[in-house]
């Protein structure tokens, strides 16, 4: 399969904006490749470097080091050729508030030299597909979050790009709009469009992406299909215990490790995470052990294999803010 | 080129849509000024009749330069400050400097619209005798274009370096002295009465715009030498265009 996005050892350090500011290392050698037609996800918490990665790939941010290529063209050296090939749906609402929805689409296509008749036809189609026809000749100030989001996607598609970049497209949308957005994106991908999307929602990456890179602190921690990634969590199941008086000697965690099915134990302050390949009876056994060791369990939680667990396993932190 | 024209087309569509408020902003102040100083006070005898000859070029210069400067700087401050609307145009298949040049040209076009409205109105109110030769008209067109370009580029410098919270402060702190020391209300040549002041105002680019209009519209009145007018207008234009586009690129890219 032809590679359309190449990111190799990409680095970005933001210089401080004021004299008192500090340097921010947003990307610390991120690498991945996306073949044509793939639905690729960058999953990570806020500040992981997702937006910076998209910023570099879409010519808006200059890399400090490494390589970023779109269809073999270096983004930093020939931004204009790259811009012709990509459609970008940014995180913030940057719709042109001086124009109506239809004008936004038409002018965008005009910037890309799409002939008049063709752009009018395409705008009409996209407005209809995105259920915006009724409000097409209104300015966008009064548009709901979902409508603005759909219009941003419509705008990005007006010049028929080969690759679509979306930065957290469903953040701030209600569940119904999010579902609709997922359907729309799946449909676009099925028609052959390569999509790179960032998200901090596990279920979004799980639902949409054929492959997902888990990023944190500007590095790729894991990269595979969501199913494979979930399988890579040791044991798959996770029992999380909130404990008190567990002592520093590790007797309690050692005892947990000897339970049947337990693959790995991670203890941190008053939190113990037990990864296991089966879960039947595990919680009860853990509670019994706690009782024997005079450890108080204040909270317990059992979860199925998920990307959330994988992230927790890789970083020791939860994805959710 | 297609992209560049489409970008201009977008900006001009917006200008056309906002024409009434644009005209109010551009025309009201110079017209009120013209009315009091060029119409009411000469009739009272407080101001000598000939003063209007000195005033007309200055009023025109002020309207054109200030409108092109505002046309470029205010949208940029808003775009880069919070709305980020310009991002769409930065993603158009054209260099960042190309987008910036488009902004400057739109500023020039707005200045020309302002000039076309203010000149006839001010002339009607003040009844200044204009006996323009072909050379004067050529000078007039050149000075008008150069001054508008200079101040559009200056607007780009302001719009890209001033944070949004400080824009009104900058406008007050910078514009008031520029206007009052800009030889709009008095010819530069008559400043020989205060020599240090005559040379101090030369740092102000507005002086050359106003003196340029004086040279073109009322050549019989004292005005700055032609070489100095064109030299400074071109020099300042190049300087501000260079700085403005560099700052624009710096703001557009992280």
What does the pLDDT look like over B102-111, one tens digit per residue? 999 999 999 9
Residue identified by tokens 């002086």 is B207
Whole-number Å distance between alpha carbons of A194 and A112:
19
Whole-number Å distance between alpha carbons of B154 and B160:
10
User: B253, A61: Cβ pair inside 8 Å?
Assistant: yes
Per DSSP, the three-state class of A77 is coil
A152: its two tokens: 């941003």
Query: Using alpha carbons only, what angle is made at residue A240 by residues A237 and A241, rounded to the nearest 5 degrees?
Result: 145
User: A60, B10: Cβ pair inside 8 Å?
Assistant: no
Residue A76 touches chain B, beta carbons under 8 Å = no
Residue A226 has pLDDT above 70, yes or no: yes
Cβ-contact A22, A16 below 8 angstroms = yes
Spatial strand order of the sheet with A237-244 comes to A262-268, A271-276, A237-244, A296-303
Mode of pairing for the β-strands spanning A86-89 and A163-167: parallel
Cβ within 8 Å of B, A 43-72: 55, 58-62
Average pLDDT rounded to a whole number, residues B83-96 = 88
Query: How would residue A248 be classed by pLDDT, with cut points 50, 70 and 90?
Result: low
pLDDT > 90: what percent of chain A? 36
Residue B4 has pLDDT above 70, yes or no: yes
Mean of all residue pLDDT scores within chain B: 89
Residue B94 touches chain A, beta carbons under 8 Å = yes
Average pLDDT rounded to a whole number, residues A301-308 = 75
User: B254, A94: Cβ pair inside 8 Å?
Assistant: no
Q: Which of B6, B10, B93 sits opposite A83 (nearest CB)?
A: B93
Residue A35 has pLDDT above 60, yes or no: yes
Helix (H) or strand (E) segment spanning residue A13: strand A3-14
User: A155, B10: Cβ pair inside 8 Å?
Assistant: no
What tens digit of pLDDT does each residue of A172-198 get?
788 888 888 898 899 999 999 999 999
Spatial strand order of the sheet with A219-224 comes to A86-89, A163-167, A194-199, A39-43, A211-216, A219-224
pLDDT at A189: 93
Q: Which residues contact A254 (CB under 8 A, 6 or more apart)?
A: none
Residue B3 touches chain A, beta carbons under 8 Å = yes
pLDDT at A70: 93
Paired residues of A216 in beta bridges: A219
Mode of pairing for the β-strands spanning A296-303 and A65-70: unpaired
Cβ-contact A167, A91 below 8 angstroms = yes
Residue A1 has pLDDT above 70, yes or no: yes
Mean of all residue pLDDT scores within chain A: 86
Burial of residue B243, with CB atoms counted within 10 A of its CB: 0-12 exposed, 13-18 middle, 19 or more buried: middle
Query: How would residue B45 be classed by pLDDT, with cut points 50, 70 and 90?
Result: confident
Residue A203 touches chain B, beta carbons under 8 Å = no
Burial of residue A294, with CB atoms counted within 10 A of its CB: 0-12 exposed, 13-18 middle, 19 or more buried: exposed
Minimum distance, in Å, between the CA of residue B159 and any CA atom of chain A: 17
Cβ within 8 Å of A, B 140-159: none
pLDDT at A283: 82
Q: How far from chain centre, in Å, is Cα A7?
A: 16
Cβ-contact B125, A117 below 8 angstroms = no
Nearest to B100 by CA among B110, B111, B85, B90: B90
Query: How would residue B122 be classed by pLDDT, with cut points 50, 70 and 90?
Result: confident
pLDDT at A100: 92
Query: How would residue A212 be classed by pLDDT, with cut points 50, 70 and 90?
Result: very high
A64: its two tokens: 């400090």
φ and ψ at A100, to 5 degrees? -80, 170
User: A59, B91: Cβ pair inside 8 Å?
Assistant: yes
pLDDT at B211: 93
pLDDT at A280: 75
Query: How would residue A320 be classed by pLDDT, with cut points 50, 70 and 90?
Result: low
Cβ-contact A47, A198 below 8 angstroms = no
CA distances from A251 to A244, A246, A254, A259 (A): 14, 8, 5, 13
**Mutation site, B84, B93, B95, B106, interface A, largest A CB count within 10 A:** B93
CA distances from A108 to A88, A99, A112, A155, B3 (A): 12, 11, 7, 7, 10
Minimum distance, in Å, between the CA of residue A262 and any CA atom of chain B: 47
Query: How would residue B160 be classed by pLDDT, with cut points 50, 70 and 90?
Result: very high
Chain B residue with minimum CA distance to A13: B254
**Mutation site, A18, A52, A111, A151, interface B, largest B CB count within 10 A:** A111
- ipTM of this predicted structure: 0.84
User: B91, A155: Cβ pair inside 8 Å?
Assistant: no
What tens digit of pLDDT does each residue of A49-81 get?
889 999 999 999 999 999 999 999 999 999 999
Give A95's contacts in chain B (Cβ within 8 Å): 85, 88
Q: Which residues contact B212 (CB under 8 A, 6 or more apart)?
A: B61, B139, B143, B146, B147, B224, B229, B230, B233
Whole-number Å distance between alpha carbons of B47 and A156:
61
Residue A8 touches chain B, beta carbons under 8 Å = no
Residue A37 has pLDDT above 60, yes or no: yes
Residue A308 has pLDDT above 80, yes or no: no
Residue B84 touches chain A, beta carbons under 8 Å = yes
Nearest to A311 by CA among A208, A201, A207, A210: A201
Query: Higher pLDDT residue, A167 or A306?
Result: A167
Nearest to A293 by CA among A263, A259, A260: A259
Minimum distance, in Å, between the CA of residue B249 and any CA atom of chain A: 10
Per DSSP, the three-state class of A220 is strand
User: A62, B88: Cβ pair inside 8 Å?
Assistant: no
Residue identified by tokens 């500090």 is A22
Residue A7 has pLDDT above 80, yes or no: yes
Give A92's contacts in chain B (Cβ within 8 Å): 84
Query: How would residue A246 be classed by pLDDT, with cut points 50, 70 and 90?
Result: low
Cβ-Cβ contacts under 8 Å between A and B: the total is 76
pLDDT at A194: 94
Q: Which of B14, B87, B93 sits opposite A84 (nearest CB)?
A: B93
Q: Which of A55, A83, A94 sits opposite B92 (nearest CB)?
A: A83
Query: How would residue A249 be classed by pLDDT, with cut points 50, 70 and 90?
Result: low
User: A113, B2: Cβ pair inside 8 Å?
Assistant: yes
pLDDT at A196: 95
Q: Which of B13, B85, B252 sits opposite A94 (nearest CB)?
A: B85
How would you write A130-167 as a 3-class SS string?
CCCHHHCCCEHHHCCHHHHHHHHHHHHHCCCCCEEEEE
Residue B21 touches chain A, beta carbons under 8 Å = no
Q: How far from chain centre, in Å, is Cα A16?
A: 26
Cβ-contact A96, B85 below 8 angstroms = yes
User: B84, A90: Cβ pair inside 8 Å?
Assistant: yes
pLDDT at B168: 85
Whole-number Å distance between alpha carbons of A36 and A164:
11
Q: Among A291-295, A297-301, B171-175, B248-252, which range has the highest average pLDDT?
A: B248-252
Whole-number Å distance between alpha carbons of A78 and A74:
6
pLDDT at B1: 83
- Within A154-281, strands assigned E span 163-167, 194-199, 211-216, 219-224, 237-244, 262-268, 271-276
Query: How would residue B206 be classed by pLDDT, with cut points 50, 70 and 90?
Result: very high
Residue A236 has pLDDT above 80, yes or no: no
């Amino acid at each position: 399969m032809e590679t359309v996005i190449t990111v190799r050892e990409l680095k970005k350090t933001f210089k401080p904006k004021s004299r008192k500011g500090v340097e921010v290392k947003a990307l610390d050698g991120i690498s991945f490749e996306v073949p044509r037609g793939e639905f690729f996800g960058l999953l990570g918490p806020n500040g992981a470097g997702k937006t910076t990665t998209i910023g570099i790939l879409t010519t808006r941010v200059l890399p400090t080091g490494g390589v970023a290529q779109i269809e073999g063209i270096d983004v930093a050296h020939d931004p204009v050729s790259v811009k012709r090939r990509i459609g970008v749906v940014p995180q913030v609402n940057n719709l042109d508030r001086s124009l109506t929805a239809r004008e936004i689409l038409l002018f965008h296509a005009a910037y890309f030299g799409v002939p008049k008749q063709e752009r009018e036809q395409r705008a009409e189609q996209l407005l209809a597909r995105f259920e915006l026809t009724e409000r097409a000749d209104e300015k966008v100030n009064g548009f709901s979050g979902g409508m603005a989001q759909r219009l941003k996607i419509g705008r990005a598609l007006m010049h028929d790009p080969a690759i679509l970049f979306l930065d957290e497209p469903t953040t701030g949308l209600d569940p119904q709009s999010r579902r609709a957005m997922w359907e729309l994106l799946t449909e676009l991908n099925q028609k052959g469009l390569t999509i790179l999307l960032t998200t901090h929602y596990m279920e979004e990456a799980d639902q949409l992406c054929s492959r997902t890179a888990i990023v944190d602190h500007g590095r790729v921690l894991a990269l595979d299909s969501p199913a494979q990634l979930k399988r890579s969590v040791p044991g798959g199941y996770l029992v999380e215990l909130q404990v008190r008086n567990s002592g520093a000697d590790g007797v309690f965690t050692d005892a947990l490790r000897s339970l049947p099915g337990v693959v790995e134990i991670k203890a941190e302050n008053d939190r113990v995470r037990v990864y296991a390949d089966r879960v039947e009876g595990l919680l009860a056994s853990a509670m019994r052990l706690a009782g024997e060791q005079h450890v108080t369990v204040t909270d317990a939680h059992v979860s199925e294999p998920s990307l959330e667990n994988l992230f927790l396993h890789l970083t020791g932190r939860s994805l959710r803010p | 080129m297609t992209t560049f024209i489409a970008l201009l087309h977008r900006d001009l569509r917006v200008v056309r849509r906002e024409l009434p408020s644009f005209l109010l902003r551009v025309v009201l102040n110079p017209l009120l000024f013209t009315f009091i100083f060029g119409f009411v006070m000469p009739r009272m005898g407080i101001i000598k009749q000939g003063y209007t000859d000195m005033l007309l070029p200055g009023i025109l210069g002020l309207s054109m330069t200030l409108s092109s400067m505002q046309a470029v700087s205010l949208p940029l401050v808003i775009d880069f400050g919070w709305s980020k609307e310009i991002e769409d145009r930065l993603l158009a298949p054209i260099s960042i400097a190309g987008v910036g040049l488009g902004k400057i040209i739109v500023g020039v076009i707005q200045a020309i619209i302002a000039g076309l409205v203010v000149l006839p109105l001010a002339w009607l109110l003040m009844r200044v005798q204009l006996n323009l030769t072909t050379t004067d008209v050529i000078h007039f067109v050149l000075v008008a274009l150069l001054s508008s370009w200079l101040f559009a580029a200056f607007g780009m410098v302001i719009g890209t370096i001033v944070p949004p919270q400080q824009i009104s402060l900058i406008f007050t702190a910078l514009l008031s002295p520029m206007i009052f020391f800009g030889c709009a209300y008095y010819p530069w040549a008559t400043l020989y009465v205060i020599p240090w002041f005559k040379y101090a105002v030369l740092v102000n680019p507005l002086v050359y715009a106003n003196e340029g209009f004086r040279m073109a519209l009322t050549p019989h009145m004292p005005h700055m030498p032609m070489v100095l007018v064109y030299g400074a207008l071109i020099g300042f234009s190049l300087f501000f265009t260079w700085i403005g586009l560099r700052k624009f690129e710096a703001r557009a890219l992280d």
